[in-house]
Amino acid sequence: MIARVADHCFWLGRHIERAESTARVLQVTATLALDAELPPRRCWHPVVIVSGQEADYVTRFGLEALGNAETVQRYLTLDDENPVSIRRSIEAARENARSIREVVSLEVWQVINELHMFLGSTEAEAMYARDLDAFYARVQHATQLALGLLRSTMLHDTPLDFVWLGMLLERVSQTARLLDVEHHALVPGGTSPVLETALWFSLLRACSGFEGFMKRSRGKVTGAAVASFLILEPRFPRSILYCATSSRQRLAAICGDELPGRSALSRLHALETWLGAVTPDELQGARVHETLTHVVDEVHAVCDSIGGELLGQVEPEAEQFQSQ
């Protein structure tokens, strides 16, 4: 497989996952804000932190705006200047897909292209203004459809492995950041038990993990149980351990017995082993933050290593000329 093509596959997976995750987090937060009786900043500031764009946001809108639900949501949905807004993420996913149109199946391409056109349309602006929940639902449905179609319409071969690898590594960072920011905010005993439970539920929903968690914990909600579920549950597709294991498997399939990618693979393997040694009892207080920091740092290093070993350089922009 061509390194340039692998690079586009990898980023296609990351951008779709990022858009999907952003839409879900915003939808869940907007729902939480309706009845949690929390100061707006308590609801929306964490969302900005999770996006990784806090500095840019504060520079543009000021500290006060961290509590402005509308400013945060617009920034993360239709803002053209924010590189991780939903519109920009889908635009990036679509650019990556367009660069490898011969690799991406027609079905996947069409869903991404339609979502891209929707997000640039007045219809999207109108839906955003009139029915925000429907807007978030539409983005989630289209991105989830794209992820499903990738699996059901493409060869289960190296290109798809790269898409999936990108998707999983993006997902592991999202889960880690979401849990970390909420965990920081939730000092045990600092808020009322009712409110604390609402916040844990909200976090679980932001990770699509509410139902899975309830099945595993049989209705018993504690901060430690939620953290343990999101980090260590091997059957939950957004848990950190699950994503680490799956991404290690995808990378192993890509590398085979060849040398390129081996150092990223061994690093990912080490992370998986390290996570496997963490027990649920340990996931209390500061240890959660330490664990998540380690995960985020390691995933970052793995991505750098994959980029250097497998994805090659991004080539200079092609010049234009007439064709017949």
**Contacting positions for another protein (CB under 8 A):** 1-6, 98-102, 106, 109-110, 113-114, 117, 158, 254, 256, 258, 260-261, 310, 312, 315-324
Instruction: For another protein, give the closer residue by CB, 35 or 319.
Output: 319
Q: How far is the CB of 53 from another protein (least distance, A)?
A: 24
Q: How far is the CB of 131 from another protein (least distance, A)?
A: 22
Q: How far apart are CA 130 and CA 122, in angstroms?
A: 12
Residue 49 and residue 76 in contact, taking contact as beta carbons nearer than 8 Å: no
Residue among 269, 249, 23 nearest 147 (CA): 23
Q: How far is the CB of 160 from another protein (least distance, A)?
A: 14
- Tokens linked to 62: 């000021």
Q: How far apart are CA 91 and CA 149, in angstroms?
A: 19
Instruction: For another protein, give the closer residue by CB, 6 or 181.
Output: 6
Query: 266: buried, middle or exposed (CB in 10 Å: 19+, 13-18, 0-12)?
Result: middle
Instruction: For another protein, give the closer residue by CB, 115 or 176.
Output: 115
Residue 131 and residue 139 in contact, taking contact as beta carbons nearer than 8 Å: no
Instruction: For another protein, give the closer residue by CB, 3 or 134.
Output: 3
How many degrees, rounded to 5, is the angle at CA 35 between CA 20 and CA 60? 55
Instruction: For another protein, give the closer residue by CB, 158 or 266.
Output: 158
Q: How far is the CB of 114 from another protein (least distance, A)?
A: 5
Q: How far apart are CA 90 and CA 108, in angstroms?
A: 13
Q: How far is the CB of 156 from another protein (least distance, A)?
A: 16
Q: How far is the CB of 140 from another protein (least distance, A)?
A: 19
- Tokens linked to 74: 């617009």
Instruction: For another protein, give the closer residue by CB, 24 or 116.
Output: 116
Distance set, CA 170 to CA 15, 21, 140, 243, 296 (Å) = 8, 9, 16, 9, 10
Residue 181 and residue 288 in contact, taking contact as beta carbons nearer than 8 Å: no
- Tokens linked to 85: 């807004």
Q: How far is the CB of 144 from another protein (least distance, A)?
A: 18
Go through 277-298 and write b for each residue having 16 or more CB atoms within 10 A of its CB, e for each that does not: ebeeeebeeeebeebbeebbeb
Q: How far is the CB of 148 from another protein (least distance, A)?
A: 17
Instruction: For another protein, give the closer residue by CB, 122 or 324.
Output: 324
Instruction: For another protein, give the closer residue by CB, 219 or 316.
Output: 316
Q: How far apart are CA 196 and CA 187, in angstroms?
A: 9
